[in-house]
Structure formats: C-alpha cells, structure tokens
Structure 1
Amino acid sequence: MRCATLALFLLFLTPGVLRAEPNAADKAAFQEIIGAQISAFRADDGAKAFGFASPALQTKFGSPGVFMDMVKSGYAPVYRPRSVEFRAVIDHTRGPEQQVFVIGPDGRGYLAHYMFERQPDGSWRISGCYLERAQDESV
C-alpha cells in the first residue's frame, strides 16, 4: 500500500502530468494566432505582430521595432511565406508546439515550430519559434 501511495505521489510530481493536452479549441486558437501574426508580418504591422508574443518574449525584445528587425533578418520564411500549411500539434512538458510547414520567399520548404504558453486569463501567446529546413518541398 505504501508503495502504491508513493508511486501515485511521484506521478503527480512528474512535469506535464497534470497538464491537459491541447484540445480542438486550443489547436484552432494556435492556427488563428499564427495566421494573424503572419498577416501582421505581411502588412509590416510590428505592433500587432508583437502583440501575439508572450510577455517574456516582449520583455526580451523590448519593442515591436526590435522584434520585427529580428523576424526580418532571421525568420524570412514566416515573415514572407509563399504558402502556409498547419501540421501536427505536439504536447511537450514546456507547452504545446504547433508545427507549420511554410514555403519561404526563397522557394524552399521549412518547418516552423511555434511554442505556445497559456496566459493567466486563459488565452494563448507565442512563446518561441524556431525554423527547420524541411525535407519535403510540397504543401
């Protein structure tokens, strides 16, 4: 009995166990947020694009202008994508990740890994993104 209680206690201490996997509404929100941010990038609306970033990212970059400069120089495939296709949502201990296949302005395929963080009000914000050169080239 003592071992079962200890095992149950340890199970609840394991990171991510108490978090629920993203549901259909969360997944729809991720796609809406990413789509709106890409639209803001296309319109060069730095303030709007910056608004989708988590408070930690906003603090890191400090201003919409600095954020946009970083996106323009290092994230051209999401700044000016030729096409966008939403793929899998993966739940990590650090939070959900929405994978997005994009064809960049260079005509090459990339997998953008968008990390999300739930805010105290229940909304989602982008907490990070990294690009990976994709093996496949089709949308």
Structure 2
Amino acid sequence: MRAFFAVLILGLAAIVTPSPARAQDPLDTTRSMIEAQIKAFLQDDSEKAYSYAAPGIKAAYPDKNLFFAMVKKSYEPVYHPGNYAFGRSRSIDNGAMIYHEVLISGRDGKDWTAIYQVIRQPDGGYKIGGVQILPDTESKGI
C-alpha cells in the first residue's frame, strides 16, 4: 500500500511540476517580430521599427530617420498596409534564415505580396534582413 501511495505522489508531482521551458518556434518568433515592425510603422514609431532591422540594413541606413524615409518612399504597402495576413513560411538551414510571405492589401486598394527575409543573429535572436514587395496582379477572389 505504501508503494502505491509513493507512485501516486510521484505521478502527481510529475503532472504538477512545470516542464522546462521549450524554445519558441523560430517561425512563430519571426512572424511576431514582423508583425511588431508593421505595427511600429503604423504608429510612425521609427525607433521601434528600426530596432528590428538586421546589421546589413543598419549599415546601409545608419540612422533610423533615413531608414524610415526609405521605407515610406519605397515600401508604402509595408509602411501603412490596409490589411495584411501571413502566407507561407520557409526555414532554411535549421532556422538560420527564414522567409515569410505577407499578403497585403494596400490603402490604395492594390494587393501586394511582401517576402521577408529574416536572419538569425550570432546571439540567437532574429533580425529582418530584407523585404521584397511584388504587386499581386491576379485576383484570387473571395
């Protein structure tokens, strides 16, 4: 009988004891980061938006205001999307590089596809290394 209670207590302890924290899925992590940057653009928060840029982007645009001006001029659908949704994602080399497709309806009514390239940094975190936007010329209907 004592053995039964010992097993029962150990079993309950295993259920109640929290499991070690699991590393968050890189696809979820990077998707959340892209969404945070889009929200920063929508709030005209240049400092926060710039914080998600990879070192290569920061080397090309060493000032948050230059970066923000470039995004406003060349990436209007990303800068102020009407609506957006995440499409496909792809992880390369065990998460060293991740691509996310973001489907955007611009405020002007045009549809776009933004392909985000996200790069794992030496500290294990991720930064946005680039975005390619393509006009969506074929309506898929609703």
TM over 0.5: yes
Structure 2 SS opposite 1:132: strand
Q: TM-score, normalised by structure 1?
A: 0.77
- Encode CA deviations 1:99-137: one digit per residue, 9 max, x unaligned: 000001211110000001001111111000010111236
Match of 2:97 in 1: 95
Higher alpha-carbon Rg: 2
Structure 1 residue 55, shift from structure 2 partner? 0.9
Task: Give the length in aligned residue pairs.
Answer: 117
The residue aligned with 2:129 is 127
Report the equivalent of 2:81: 81
| Superposed displacement of residue 56, structure 1 | 1.1
Q: TM-score, normalised by structure 2?
A: 0.76
**Which secondary structure state, in structure 2, belongs to the residue aligned with residue 116 of structure 1?**
strand
Which amino acid in 2 is paired with 1:55?
A: P
2:106 pairs with 1:104: yes
Distance in 2 separating the partners of 1:89 and 1:75? 20
Q: SS of 1:130's equivalent?
A: strand
The reply to whether residue 29 of structure 1 matches residue 29 of structure 2 is: yes
Identity of aligned residues (%): 30
The answer to whether 1:136 aligns with 2:139 is: yes
Runs of 4+ in 1 over 4 A off after TM superposition: none
Letter in 2 for 1:78: V
* Gapped regions of structure 2 (runs ≥ 5): 1-22
Query: Where does the alignment leave 5 or more consecutive residues of structure 1 unmatched?
Result: 1-22
Partner SS for 1:120: coil
